[in-house]
Structure 1
Amino acid sequence: MIKKIQTRRGANLNINGEAEKIILRTPSSKTFALKPDDFFGTFPKLLKKEGQEIKAGEPVFFSKNDPRIKFVSPVSGIIQSIERGPRRKIEKIIIANSLVDDSISHKVDNWEKLNRNELITLLLESGNWPFIHQRPYGTIANPDETPKAIFISAHRTSPLCPDFEFILNKEIKAFQDGILILNKLVDQQVFLGTNASHPGIFNEISDIQNYTVAGPHPAGNISLHIQELAPLNMGERVWTVNPEDVANLGRFAKTGKFSPRRTIAITGNAVEDPKYIITKQGAELQPILDEFKLLYPQNRVINGDLLSGTITHLDGYLGYYNNQISVIPEGNDYRMFGWLPFKDNNILSLSNTSFSRLFKKKGFEVDTNLNGEERAIVVTGEMEKVFPLDVYPMQLLKACMFEDIEKMEALGIYEVVPEDFGLIDYANTSKIEAQEIIRQGIELMINEVG
Structure 2
Amino acid sequence: MITAEAGLNLGSQIDFRAEPLVKAGDHVAQGAPILRDRRRHECIITAPMAGRVAELEMGAGRRLASLVLYAEDRDDRHAYEVGAASDEIACGEGSAALRRLLQEAGLWMRFRSRPFGRVPAPETIPATIFVMAVDTRPLAPDPRVALTGENAEWLQLGLRALARLCNGQIQFCQDRGPDIISPNERVRIRRVGALHPAGLAGFCIHQSFPARPDRQIWDIDAEDVAAIGELLSERRLPATRLVSVAGPGMRETLLVRCQPGADLRDLAYAHMSPGQQAILSGSVLEGQESRWLGYRDRQVTVISRPSGGRPRHWLETALRQASHPKPIIATAAVEQALGGYIPAMALLRALAVGDDEAVAELGGLSLLEEDLALVDYITSAKPRFSELLRASLDRIEANL
TM-score range relative to shorter protein: 0.7 to 0.9
1:119 alignment partner in structure 2:
98
Q: Does 1:284 align with 2:255?
A: no
Q: Is 1:173 aligned to 2:153, yes or no?
A: yes
Letter in 2 for 1:214: G
Secondary structure of 1:210 counterpart? strand
Q: Secondary structure at the match of 1:214?
A: coil
Deviation per CA, 1:290-320, whole angstroms, max 9, x where unpaired?
Answer: 4x421131112111111122222xxx11112
Q: Deviations over 1:67-114 (max 9, x none)?
A: 122111122333211244556642231122223433332222463422
Which residue matches 1:10?
none
Q: Which of 378, 386, 395 is matched with 2:328 structurally?
A: 378
Task: State the Cα distance separating 1:155 from its structure 2 match.
Answer: 1.9
Determine the C-alpha separation between the residues in 1 that align with 2:391 and 2:106. 28
Which residue in 1 is equivalent to 2:64?
90
| Corresponding residue number in structure 1 for 2:312 | none
After the TM superposition, which of the residue ranges 185-194 and 83-92 deviates more from structure 2? Answer: 83-92
Per-residue Cα deviation, 1:317-376 (whole angstroms, up to 9, x for no partner): 111221111111123277xxxxxxxxxxxxxxxxxxxxxxxxxxxxxxxxxxxxxx9941
Partner of 1:35: 9
Change (3 A) 1:143 1:89: closer
Figure out how many residues of one structure are paired with residues of the other and give that number. 379
Query: Distance between the aligned counterparts of 2:54 and 2:105, measured in 1?
Result: 23
CA deviations 1:160-210 (Å, max 9, x no partner) are 1210111222221111111111111111231111112x135x054655201
Work out whether residues 75 and 101 of structure 1, in 8 Å CA contact, stay in contact via their aligned partners in 2. Answer: no
Residue among 331, 340, 344 paired with 2:306: 331
* In structure 1, distance between residues paired with 2:338 and 2:70: 43
Report the TM-score, using the length of structure 1 for normalisation. 0.77
Q: What is the distance in 2 between the residues matched to 1:215 and 1:56?
A: 35
Q: Distance in 2 between matches of 1:374 and 1:175?
A: 51
TM-score scaled by length of structure 2: 0.85
Aligned equivalent of 1:337:
none
Aligned equivalents of 1:257 and 1:41: distance in 2? Answer: 26
User: Structure 2 matches for 1:41-440, cutoff 5 A?
Assistant: 41-85=15-59, 89-109=63-83, 111-114=85-88, 115-170=94-149, 171-196=151-176, 198-199=177-178, 202-204=180-182, 208-214=187-193, 216-290=195-269, 292-312=270-290, 316-332=291-307, 375-382=325-332, 383-388=334-339, 390-397=341-348, 399-400=350-351, 403=354, 405-428=356-379, 430=381, 433-440=384-391
Change (3 A) 1:217 1:377: same
- Pick the structure with more helix per residue: 2
**Residues 87 and 180 (structure 1 numbering): CA distance in 2 closer, same or farther, change over 3 Å?**
closer
From the superposition, tell whether residues 385 and 258 of structure 1 become closer, same or farther in structure 2 (CA, over 3 Å): closer
Instruction: State the shift of 1:401 in Å.
Output: 5.1
Higher relative CO (Cα under 8 Å, sequence separation at least 6) belongs to 1
1:204-257 alpha-carbon deviations (Å, 9 max, x no partner): 465520111125211111112112221223311011111211111111111111
Whether the 8 Å contact between 1:108 and 1:255 is mirrored in structure 2 is no
CA contact (8 A) 2:3 2:259 kept: no
Report the Cα distance in structure 1 between the residues aligned to 2:146 and 2:237, rounded to whole angstroms.
Answer: 19
The SS at the match of 2:226 is helix
Secondary structure of the corresponding residue to residue 144 of structure 2: helix
Q: Work out the CA distance in 1 between the residues paired with 2:391 and 2:279.
A: 24
The alignment's C-alpha RMSD in Å is 2.7
Provide Cα deviations, 1:253-284, integer angstroms capped at 9, x if missing partner.
11111224211111112111212111111111
Q: 1:48 to 1:440 in 2, by over 3 A?
A: farther
Indicate how the Cα distance of structure 1 residues 376 and 86 shifts in structure 2: closer, same or farther if over 3 A, else same.
farther
**Shift in Å, 1:52:** 2.9
Q: How has the CA–CA distance of structure 1 residues 445 and 31 changed in structure 2, closer, same or farther, with 3 Å as cutoff?
A: farther
Quick one: distance in 1 between partners of 2:31 and 2:327? Answer: 48
Letter in 2 for 1:377: P
Q: Please, which moves more after superposition, 176-185 or 258-267?
A: 258-267
Q: Which moved more, 1:91-100 or 1:427-436?
A: 427-436
The answer on whether the counterparts of 1:401 and 1:441 sit within 8 Å (CA) in structure 2 is no
Percent identical pairs in the alignment equals: 22
Q: Is the 8 A contact 2:17 2:61 kept in 1?
A: no
Change (3 A) 1:386 1:402: closer
How far 1:396 sits from its partner (Å)? Answer: 4.2
CA distance 1:397–1:40, shift in 2 (3 Å)? farther
Mapped partners of 2:380, 2:245: distance in 1: 29
Structure 1 unaligned runs (5+)?
A: 1-25, 335-372
